[in-house]
Structure 1
Amino acid sequence: MLESMNYHVENTPEYEWAIAIDAVALSTWSSKDQKGPVDENGEEIKYLFIFLGMPLNFDAPNVILHVIEHANGFASGIIHEIDAAIEEIRKHLRVRVIITDGDPGYDKHQDEFINEILQGNDPEEIFKRATAILKKGDQVVWINDLIHMSKLERTRLLDATLKLLVHPSDLNTIVDVNKIRDAIEL
């Protein structure tokens, strides 16, 4: 797909890039009665996984680098295909960050970064560890995007059966969602 872009990202090898991956429902652009296209196995394609390339120096435009068709919006069923696409993109671009929607299919990648930074003993050391990892030129960091994280946290606030952790590595820092709901209007 890199060859088909009007903006040729291969002409910007000195740029560092972030790639955002998200599934988009094809039903968003069609009526509920209308069937979507089918893949080579005859299964209806209901979702597209979009790989949006974003140059980190902001001089170049954002571009769609790759698209994967899939029957559902869950990354876990096609994580090997996603990994292969990232590896192919990395042959052409210096990818520093992969940004996802929090789908559990990406957990193994995100856990590597989280486990490494949480070896710090306090917030300052955790921040220093994260900064050092991000400055390494050869390591790709997988993270969740803020919008999806915020939507997830809002859902947790609305569900009174859930408990929130103040600090993810300390299970004793639980906050009762009902106390937050009493303090703010949702």
Structure 2
Amino acid sequence: MNMKQFVKHAELIPRMLESMNYHVENTPEYEWAIAIDAVALSTWSSKDQKGPVDENGEEIKYLFIFLGMPLNFDAPNVILHVIEHANGFARGIIHEIDAAIEEIRKHLRVRVIITDGDPGYDKHQDEFINEILQGNDPEEIFKRATAILKKGDQVVWINDLIHMSKLERTRLLDATLK
């Protein structure tokens, strides 16, 4: 089986990692963060050239990449999963993203999901934000966040700072953006 087939089927993650001689156990010593981001295929092709099509004949213009980043052990990052899509917005495929995360969690101990600020992920991030904002002051908010992150059974969804900074920079340059 080639790598393209592995990354399109999250249930094959154990076989993919095994084929790469990548030893992983689903234990606290082997915790992961997963970063999800959409990549435009047009970045690598000419404007005149059509991209690949999916099984429905729709042009695939974006790939949602699930990058696995080990937290507690010395191993390289690895692309765990890829979802093909016609646009770069998570909202239209959030159920597919959720299903992929659920499947990945069967094989790996995922602690944090890091996203780019796409509103499609808001419902997941709001759970964490609402929980920590029950604190009355910054110190209590920080303590609540730390307690949640230390729990072994909960996955926390957060925005990464680079994407948040990029978005704010864009808003400063173009005040018409909301």
TM-score range normalised by the length of the shorter chain:
0.7 to 0.9
Following superposition, the deviation at residue 5 of structure 1 comes to 4.7
RMSD, matched Cα:
2.0
Residue by residue, what CA displacement relative to the aligned partner does 1:49-108 show, whole Å, maximum 9, x if unpaired? Answer: 000000012501100000000000000000000000000000010000000000000000
Residue by residue, what CA displacement relative to the aligned partner does 1:99-149 show, whole Å, maximum 9, x if unpaired? Answer: 000000000000000000011111001000000000000000000011100
Is 2:26–2:107's contact at 8 Å kept on the other side of the alignment?
no
- TM-score for both structures, normalised by structure 2: 0.85
- In 2: Cα distance, 1:39 partner to 1:4 partner: 27
Residue by residue, what CA displacement relative to the aligned partner does 1:139-166 show, whole Å, maximum 9, x if unpaired? Answer: 0000001110001111232344679xxx
Q: Give the 3 Å change call, closer, same or farther, for CA 29–156 of structure 1 in structure 2.
A: same
- Return the structure number with greater helix share: 2
- In 2: Cα distance, 1:60 partner to 1:71 partner: 33
Q: Give the 3 Å change call, closer, same or farther, for CA 89–127 of structure 1 in structure 2.
A: same
SS of corresponding position for 2:114? strand
> Is structure 2 residue 172 aligned with structure 1 residue 157?
yes
Greater mean alpha carbon deviation, residues 152-161 or residues 97-106: 152-161
Is 2:94–2:121's contact at 8 Å kept on the other side of the alignment?
yes
Structure 1: give runs of 5+ residues left out of the alignment. 164-186
Higher relative contact order (CA 8 A, sep 6+): 2
Q: 4+ residue stretches of structure 1 with deviation over 6 A?
A: none
- TM-score for both structures, normalised by structure 1: 0.81
Greater mean alpha carbon deviation, residues 8-17 or residues 102-111: 8-17
Larger radius of gyration: 1
Query: Share of identical aligned residues, percent?
Result: 99
Structure 2: give runs of 5+ residues left out of the alignment. 1-15
Q: Give the 3 Å change call, closer, same or farther, for CA 142–11 of structure 1 in structure 2.
A: closer
Q: Give the 3 Å change call, closer, same or farther, for CA 5–27 of structure 1 in structure 2.
A: farther
SS of corresponding position for 1:65? strand
- In 1: Cα distance, 2:21 partner to 2:27 partner: 13
